[in-house]
Structure 1
Amino acid sequence: MHSTTKFHSLLDRLKLLPKIRSGWLGAPRMRRSITPGLTGLMTLFMVLTAVASAHARQPEASPRIDGPTAVARARVAADVLMSSYDPNKAWFPSSWWNSAVALQTIGDYMQRTGDRRYLGQLDNTFEKDKGVFPPGVLSGDPLLGNFTSRAIDDSEWWVLTWLQAYDLTRNPKYLDMAVTIANYVYGYWDTSTCGGGVWWNAERTYKNAVTNALWIRLTAELHNRIHGDHLWLARSSTAWKWFNGSGMINANGLVNDGLTDTCTNNGQTVWSYNQGMLIGAGLELWRATRDPSIMATVRRLADAAIGPNGLVASGILTESCDALDQTCDDNGKQFKGIFMRYWTDLVDTTHDRRYAAFLDTQAESIWNADRDAAGRLGTRWSGATSDAHPNVFDWRTQASALSALIGEIPVWTPQASLAATLSPAQPVVMPAASGNTPIALNLGVSATGWFPLNANASVQAPAGWGVSPTASQLHLQPHGTAVPVNGSIPLTLTVPSLATDGHHMVTANVAAAGLHFSTQADVLVAHSIDFDTGTVNETPWLWDPDGSQSNGVQNRFADGTAHFTYRFPFPFDTTSAHVTLTIDAEYLVQVSSDNQNWTTVLQENQRITDGSNKGNQTIDLTPYLGSGSDGAKPVYVKVSDAFPDDGWGGRVYHVTASFTE
């Protein structure tokens, strides 16, 4: 993961390091003008880069993956995350500060890989969301303009997001916005209470860890990007000194949540993001000052985090709300990712094998134990789950886990990568009483590199099932190490009528030029429909979640212009069908046979916001039985908001359906 001192020395002797740092060598726009001599030099550089990527990290007794695979995994996970981005509101649905963190995570991915496909979404958010908004539009609080609000820590997250955008683009508007927000935050630095510190909110009721660790990091980042700065460095140094003397770091080297009204450690939960944020704050300030005492504190914080009384269970970073008798709220879902962002910074900066090994372990556990067939990453990185408190998968958990996968990518971008996905990743099959059911799948392949690739693909279906083709080849012509090129192979899966109910895996393997990647589709065979919403059992049936949300187990709701759609692929010999929804609030329910032409079948005509109309509503689906390309008779059921102006749209708790053949 990390470039070695010897490698840097060699590059210096070859006079390559300054060119690499300036982005000259291998820049796509320069390729056609490179002379034969420089082509040989580039080849040497590619070899040296590959060697450095393979040998730079040498953690002791830790799981490891190669650099190309790390890039491929992160690319798949980043694409899944960005599928939840709402281009109209220019955010991730229903979370303001979480959106800032998710966008910064995508910025981390782009910076680490060179893949700049999502710069447009960053700028879309900047331009659309920098204005003034009333409460309930993008945040529960009114937004005051320039990404500020009464929540001071929310404002600070946006500083880091725009500094990341500045690093990616060098567009001064992002740096200017970061300074604007930072000046707003500085208005809440107050020495009259507890001797200093930034208030958590505009009401000045609480001084806490995250707000002040954010302040140290962002002021140090500003200093390190503004030539000749002294102001922001002074503010960062003052805040660091204040934080270390505040008492929020307890005797075990762990960061509690904040201070009491009498300015003592309140003993509240040690959240991973508080620990990680302060590590990141110290690292950025150390880069500005090279003060060894700062690095000593950073190491103490890091060692405490992974120590016997820290934040680790069986080697895996674990939030207190990850316990099997609890469920993390929408804030807690992203805490571990923030920790891992700054842990990656720690690994890059110190080259400490222990820290690198810990990072490796997190990434491997996420990919192998905490990932579903659709590439979604869950909140419990161990993969642990329970019926009452299942492992949760959503865009927040995706952004969080993605940070660990990004950390696995070598600093020197691998010269090639190969990734694959199967779609739909979680199809549902309702077999007829006799005959086989065909399902169309698509094997998507993406690659980066400098040379043409002939990707060989092989597909394995469950015993007794058919798949065609079982083997094929796809030619790809990458254009460099950054933006991936894509190709696809259509597949036909044949499911026998006697297939047993449950989940069945279809596996595809692709290989080219020493690169390998494996992907799966999780096919649900079902002869009945009965599921709670907001759970993993709902996922295969959820055809289009749009901007809907689930704030816990057994509910899904759609407010404003959002909706969610279920697809029920009834067998081709179905003669009648009904669905029952346990539903409340201001619902609008529509049904379609083709997902295009809709008929309203249920509508709440009263403005009900207290759930008092909760009940079972049964809908006759027989008139809407469609004709699918897979031979099924699909019906689409869409739930939306009957009164989109007040934010209390339809909420569904349970779904059952019956049919006759």
Structure 2
Amino acid sequence: MSAVPTRRRVRAALVGLVAMLVGLAPAAVAHAQTVGTQRAGVQRAGTEAADGPTAVARARVAADVLMSSYDPEKAWFPSSWWNSAVALQTIGDYMQRTGDRRYLPQLDNTFRKDQGKFPAGELSGDELWGNFTSRAIDDSEWWGLTWIQAYDVTGDARYLRMAVKIAEFTNGYWDDTCGGGVWWNAERTYKNAVTNGLYIRLTAELHNRVPGDKRWLARSQAAWDWFAGSGMINSSGLVNDGLNDDCHSNGQTVWTYNQGLAVGGALELWRATGDPTLLSTARRLADAAIDGGLTTDGVLTEACDTLDRTCDDNAKQFKGIFLRYLMDLADTTRADRYKAFVARQAETIWAQDHDAADRLGTRWAGGTSTDHPNVFDWRTQASALSALIAAVPVPAPKRSLAATTSPAQPVVMPVGNGSTKLTVNVGLSATGPASEQVTARVTVRAPDGWTVSPASGTVVLSPRGNTHPVYGTFPVQVTVPATAEDGHHDVTATVTADSGLSFGTRSEVTVAHKIDFDTGTAAEMPWLWDADGSQSNGVQNRFADGNHYFVYRFPFPADTVTARATVTIDNEYVVEASSDGEHWTTVAKEAQRVTDGSNKADQVIDLTAYLGPDKATYLRVSDSFPDDGWGGRVYHVTAASTE
């Protein structure tokens, strides 16, 4: 068996551990370790949950999918600045919680590459002023919290120093308007909950990590006193969005991230001061949310999660922020009600909001509609990952076993007579003591009338602790009969080990006799062979800007003679075709700089010359003018073949 999974859609390289604790004094190392222990609320022997290994495995699988969207060249997640900060912070939480240290190089990469100045549109819609700051004060604060989390994971003082710079920058936007508070933006147009919740947490975290500090504590206490008296916390204990021009609460939407930041700010300031009223307030705010204020049937629900609405790219990530700080509260108080709530979120996500490709969507309870489908992207992945991380017990189990499938969502287009064969690789990953091999038994099942060979077998893995999981694969050949009905069919795999470890995964095989889908929908996903850094902002919308692209694969039947596709597309596009997914020929291109969609049209592409030996063909869409950020946007795709 090969040692490394080769899942095409998961492109993150599993790279080695970088040096830790560089140039840090022993006292600072001890302080970082103490803070980490305080935050975790460590419970020692005898308290590990029975499903702890499964929780670790789920978090690892989801974290790997998230990091497959990380762009190592620009050192962010395309194309959102503050969302990238939170996604990296979530990966920091994952590493701290589980002990897995594979993604330390990505933290370092972002820190080195993105701390400089950038023009508007390069890494954000705004100009970046250096040291991760911009006119969006809240964006800057998110990066401050990210670098404190990186410091907690590594003990590397350069991360803490950057957080101090960001906090000093933020403090410059505190003034006496409305009696205090930090402005949301450099234009000083709005004082709101998110910016000030972030400021409270950021300054309190700095106090709890900077020996002998008094300055950050005073600022955090003043910010909390102002926030608590601002009126943004309403009579129901829920946090409204901000203040209006007469300095009263505007009564606008209660977003989960504002509620979470209020909980997190009060909790961290309690750590700094020991003031019991702060801990009591943190619990009251959390209770207001989970007792129905921000839940539906016990599941955290954003205001835009209803089936007649779609969350924008910002709101996609809000719920995970609430869970990050509820995790902190659960660890600190050890209250059963918070632990139960965390477990409920994680279980619901995995059961109802988790697809065969291990992607996690925006609606944690699932649910979709034609006009407002449940969206899956890296932002929703990061958000839901926070709930999976929160479900990992402290300390995390050393042993874990996970499984994935590749391809996770393959397509079979059967011939008129005879069967079609498909190779599915079951990927395994494990952690455990270096002295103990893991013999994993793999059992694979297919629908009635299909065959799997081999249907069972073993893979031996040799763990080396939990800082770097080890990987292996178990390939099987699935035979799909010509009589298979169109639709989705699950090929399931279960892996078990004698130590009591067990994990299930599936490959969702789509059987189809025709190709016809809108982009930005679940129907698109089986055909999307490589999403690269493309994005989808809703139904009939997938685009690739700059040097990014996306690739569709059409596995036409084995008796195909001719084939063609029709692609509805606009803006600055390049469309290329290939018979192997490696060598490309341009078949359509926009030569003018079009950024308003005025060239939207159906491009008919003859694919006959690009049918591969297996009759599969590939279409790649990219940007004809990568310097201006208006790449090819596809709305609808159809394709057909003849025998």
TM-score by length of 2: 0.92
Deviation at 1:49, TM superposition (A): 5.5
Aligned partner (choices 335, 360, 365) of residue 352 of structure 1: 335
CA distance in 2, matches of 1:485, 1:586: 42
Deviation at 1:21, TM superposition (A): 11
CA distance in 1, matches of 2:367, 2:85: 28
Deviation at 1:481, TM superposition (A): 3.2
The aligned residue for residue 567 of structure 2 is: 581
The aligned residue for residue 79 of structure 1 is: 64
Relative distance call for 1:535 and 1:382 in structure 2 (3 A) is same
Aligned partner (choices 594, 597, 602) of residue 611 of structure 1: 597
Deviation at 1:384, TM superposition (A): 1.1
Deviation at 1:51, TM superposition (A): 2.3
The aligned residue for residue 426 of structure 1 is: 409
User: For structure 2, which runs of at least 5 residues remain unmatched after alignment?
Assistant: 1-28, 35-42
Is 1:500 the equivalent of 2:485?
yes
CA distance in 2, matches of 1:414, 1:640: 44
CA distance in 1, matches of 2:104, 2:220: 29
The aligned residue for residue 647 of structure 1 is: 629
Q: Mapping of 1:151-550 within 5 angstroms?
A: 151-191=136-176, 193-308=177-292, 310-450=293-433, 451-512=436-497, 513-550=499-536
Deviation at 1:529, TM superposition (A): 0.0
Q: Structure 1 stretch 615-624 or stretch 479-488: which is displaced more?
A: 479-488
Structure 1 runs (4+) greater than 3 angstroms displaced: 19-24
Structure 2 counterpart SS, 1:293? helix
1:31-55, CA deviations, whole angstroms, 9 ceiling, x for partnerless residues?
Answer: xxxxxxxxxxxxxxxxx9662213x
User: Is the 1:417–1:515 contact (alpha carbons within 8 Å) kept by the matching residues of 2?
Assistant: yes
1:586-621, CA deviations, whole angstroms, 9 ceiling, x for partnerless residues?
Answer: 111111111122111111111111111111111111
The aligned residue for residue 43 of structure 1 is: none
The aligned residue for residue 52 of structure 1 is: 47
1:294-342, CA deviations, whole angstroms, 9 ceiling, x for partnerless residues?
Answer: 112111111111224x001111100010010000000000000000000
Deviation at 1:580, TM superposition (A): 0.3
CA distance in 1, matches of 2:302, 2:33: 39
State percent identity of aligned pairs: 68
User: Is the 2:399–2:430 contact (alpha carbons within 8 Å) kept by the matching residues of 1?
Assistant: yes
The aligned residue for residue 137 of structure 1 is: 122
CA distance in 2, matches of 1:460, 1:103: 37
Structure 1 counterpart SS, 2:63? helix
Q: Counterpart amino acid of 2:102?
A: R
Aligned partner (choices 605, 611, 615) of residue 633 of structure 1: 615
CA distance in 2, matches of 1:546, 1:267: 40
User: Is the 2:32–2:152 contact (alpha carbons within 8 Å) kept by the matching residues of 1?
Assistant: no
TM-score by length of 1: 0.90
Deviation at 1:22, TM superposition (A): 9.9
CA distance in 1, matches of 2:144, 2:236: 31
CA distance in 2, matches of 1:86, 1:174: 21
CA distance in 2, matches of 1:481, 1:546: 29
Q: Counterpart amino acid of 2:414?
A: P
Matched positions, count: 604
User: Is the 1:49–1:414 contact (alpha carbons within 8 Å) kept by the matching residues of 2?
Assistant: no
Deviation at 1:225, TM superposition (A): 0.4
User: Is the 2:33–2:152 contact (alpha carbons within 8 Å) kept by the matching residues of 1?
Assistant: no
Is 1:598 the equivalent of 2:581?
no
The aligned residue for residue 20 of structure 2 is: none
User: Is the 1:546–1:563 contact (alpha carbons within 8 Å) kept by the matching residues of 2?
Assistant: yes
CA distance in 2, matches of 1:49, 1:151: 42
User: Is the 2:406–2:425 contact (alpha carbons within 8 Å) kept by the matching residues of 1?
Assistant: yes
User: Is the 1:413–1:481 contact (alpha carbons within 8 Å) kept by the matching residues of 2?
Assistant: no
User: Is the 1:50–1:415 contact (alpha carbons within 8 Å) kept by the matching residues of 2?
Assistant: no
Deviation at 1:431, TM superposition (A): 0.9
Q: Structure 1 stretch 433-442 or stretch 366-375: which is displaced more?
A: 433-442
User: Is the 1:162–1:177 contact (alpha carbons within 8 Å) kept by the matching residues of 2?
Assistant: yes
1:477-521, CA deviations, whole angstroms, 9 ceiling, x for partnerless residues?
Answer: 111233211111111111111111100000100110211100000
Deviation at 1:23, TM superposition (A): 8.1
Q: Counterpart amino acid of 2:171?
A: Y
Root-mean-square deviation (CA, aligned residues, Å) is 1.5
User: For structure 1, which runs of at least 5 residues remain unmatched after alignment?
Assistant: 1-18, 25-47, 55-64
User: Is the 1:534–1:556 contact (alpha carbons within 8 Å) kept by the matching residues of 2?
Assistant: yes
Q: Counterpart amino acid of 1:230?
A: K
CA distance in 1, matches of 2:587, 2:289: 54
CA distance in 2, matches of 1:558, 1:477: 40
User: Is the 1:337–1:403 contact (alpha carbons within 8 Å) kept by the matching residues of 2?
Assistant: yes
Structure 2 counterpart SS, 1:643? coil
CA distance in 1, matches of 2:186, 2:242: 16
Relative distance call for 1:262 and 1:22 in structure 2 (3 A) is closer
Q: Counterpart amino acid of 1:320?
A: A
Q: Counterpart amino acid of 1:651?
A: R
1:333-390, CA deviations, whole angstroms, 9 ceiling, x for partnerless residues?
Answer: 0000000000000100111111111111101000011000010000000011111111
